[in-house]
Amino acid sequence: MTENIFDMTDDQVIRSVREGYPRRYEIIVNRYKHKITNFIHKMIFDHDEAQSLAQDVFLKVYSTIDKYKTQDNFQAFLFTIARNMTLNYIKKQKRTVFFSGFLSGSPESESKHLSVEDEQHASMERTQQQELMMDALKEIKENQRLALVLKVYMDFSYKKIAEITGWSIPKIETLISRAKSNLREKIRLREDGGNRRPQTGQSLKKNLQENIDQNVLEVRTI
Amino acid sequence: MKDTCADISIYLSGYQDGELNEERHRRVSTHLTRCDACRASLAELERLTTGLRRVEDVEASFDFTAEVMGHILENETAAAPARPDRSNRFGWFSSPALVYSLVFIVFCLLGFLINPSLRPPALETVEPPSISIAMEADLNDLTAYSNALTESQQLNLIDVQEQSLDLLAADSTSRSVPGNEVDNER
């Protein structure tokens, strides 16, 4: 009976790569390349950079393949490396933006990864709604964005997100809840075009209550 | 006890994601049946998630895999000749235990050579006196010398001494009677 290598599980492929068939790593790359590129893109919003970083992720996984225990979840192993490299990239970008902004005096203009022309071109292809979502996503904190992207775009359970990030499930619950809440708020602000009506006593009270609820939830999580 | 909207709002996101345990799920479901505001909040969360999911996915480029595999295989082939063939390169010398043993022995030998106090004491050999020396020696000296010898050596020496005395006696006898030869010839 001949075994079809494309039907092999991740663990079987990894084992055969270790046993001296490096070309079989191609199966892993083909299986996850779109998912990893998409994940990174949702975190950094730059297709070219996302693709380049995704390639680095696969190279890193290959070089550290001996650390992977075949009984574990390979997808979690892969996404843990992708998550670490993406957060490092964002941190590095922030530092670059800070220093270039410090030198040029215009940090805002540098914070965009794409040139104005590219941005305009890309914008034409996106609907207004999508653009609104992307902009709102950019503005929330990295940890909240990471948890939300893993949930919404990668369709991972809280348990799997916990494996990838090393966070507790209550913390993930809080981060996702806060991410959604912040996104709603930012989208509402954008839809209002920045001309928000002054808050009435009732809406102020409601917002205050929401903030208190979130803080309570955070304290409970801690 | 009835749950308030504040109690429920913190679980709405988990409820939407289907991540609540059975008890919390039941509490939220019960509350939603009688609370319009929380139902509206949940609907808003659903709209948000739908909006997020509409953001287009991106895909890896056509040559993504080829580029990654090119890198990997290039490094593999570059690294291959440098990888030592442990089975053939050193042969029997590849055993670490053997190497350590040899190093230990070399160090021990060096220690003996460098530090004389570490050397083993040399064996004292007693050279037996040669017979010719004994014969030439004065008889008194020979007696004194014989005292220091072992019993068997002393016995040998006594034999030699007696033979020497016989020879000397025979010599003196022949010198004191010179006509004996003539007489004998006669």
Contact present, A184 and B48 (Cβ < 8 Å)? yes
Specify the higher pLDDT residue, A33 or B129: A33
CA angle, residues B162, B165, B171, in degrees to nearest 5: 145
**Separation CA A182–CA A133 (nearest Å):** 12
pLDDT over 70 at A140, yes or no: yes
**Separation CA A176–CA A1 (nearest Å):** 48
Q: What pLDDT does residue B87 have?
A: 39
* Minimum Cα–Cα distance from A29: chain B residue: B65
Distances (CA, A) of A161 to A80, A166, A179, A215, B120: 9, 8, 15, 22, 72
Specify the higher pLDDT residue, A131 or B184: A131
Phi, psi of B49 (to 5 degrees): -65, -40
Report percent pLDDT > 90 for chain A: 52
Q: What pLDDT does residue A142 have?
A: 93
Specify the higher pLDDT residue, A163 or B120: A163
Residues A146-175, mean pLDDT to the nearest whole number: 95
Contact present, B51 and A184 (Cβ < 8 Å)? no
Q: Do A129 and B71 touch (CB under 8 A)?
A: no
Q: Could you tell me the two tokens for A106?
A: 């215009």
Q: What pLDDT does residue B156 have?
A: 73
Q: What pLDDT does residue A128 have?
A: 78
Closest by CA position to A45, among listed A101, A108, A123, A151: A123
Contact residues, chain B to chain A, C-beta under 8 Å = 6, 9-10, 12-14, 17, 19, 44-45, 48-49, 51-61, 64-65, 67-69, 71-73, 76
Tell me which residue in A127, A151, A213 faces B10 most closely, judged by beta carbons: A213
Q: What pLDDT does residue B11 have?
A: 92
Distance from CA of B92 to the nearest CA of A (A): 26
Contact present, A136 and A183 (Cβ < 8 Å)? yes
Quote ipTM for the complex. 0.73
Contact present, A92 and A49 (Cβ < 8 Å)? no
Distances (CA, A) of A153 to A178, B74, B118, B151: 17, 34, 77, 109
Phi, psi of B179 (to 5 degrees): -80, -5
Q: What pLDDT does residue B179 have?
A: 43
Q: What pLDDT does residue B115 have?
A: 72
pLDDT tens, residue by residue, A60-81: 999 998 888 877 789 999 999 9
Q: Could you tell me the two tokens for A44?
A: 């950094």
A160 to chain B, any CB pair closer than 8 A? The answer is: no
- The owner of tokens 């003996």 is B112
State the SS3 of chain B.
CCCCHHHHHHHHHHHHHCCCCHHHHHHHHHHHHHCHHHHHHHHHHHHHHHHHHHCCCCCCCCCHHHHHHHHHHHHHHHHCCCCCCHHHHCHHHHCHHHHHHHHHHHHHHHHHHHCHHHCCCCCCCCCCCCHHHHHHCCHHHHHHHHHCCCHHHHHHHHHHHHHHHHHHHHHHHHHHCCCHHHHHHC
Q: What is the DSSP letter of B15?
A: H
Contact present, A191 and A101 (Cβ < 8 Å)? no
Q: Could you tell me the two tokens for A169?
A: 């499930």
Q: Could you tell me the two tokens for B57?
A: 């996915």
Distance from CA of A102 to the nearest CA of B (A): 33
Of A86-95, A129-138, B102-111, B153-162, minimum mean pLDDT range: B153-162
Residues contacting residue B26 through CB under 8 Å, at least 6 positions apart: none
Q: Do A153 and B54 touch (CB under 8 A)?
A: no
Residues contacting residue A15 through CB under 8 Å, at least 6 positions apart: A70
Specify the higher pLDDT residue, B148 or A154: A154
Q: What pLDDT does residue B185 have?
A: 40
Q: What pLDDT does residue A117 have?
A: 60
Q: What pLDDT does residue B133 have?
A: 52
Specify the higher pLDDT residue, A122 or A192: A192
Walk along chain B (186 residues) and give the pLDDT tens digit of each residue: 678 898 899 899 999 999 999 999 999 999 999 999 999 999 999 999 999 998 889 999 999 999 999 999 888 777 654 444 443 444 445 556 767 778 888 887 887 677 766 665 655 555 555 555 545 555 556 556 556 656 666 667 667 777 877 887 777 666 554 444 434 443
CA angle, residues A191, A192, A198, in degrees to nearest 5: 150
Number of neighbouring beta carbons within 10 Å of residue A12: 15
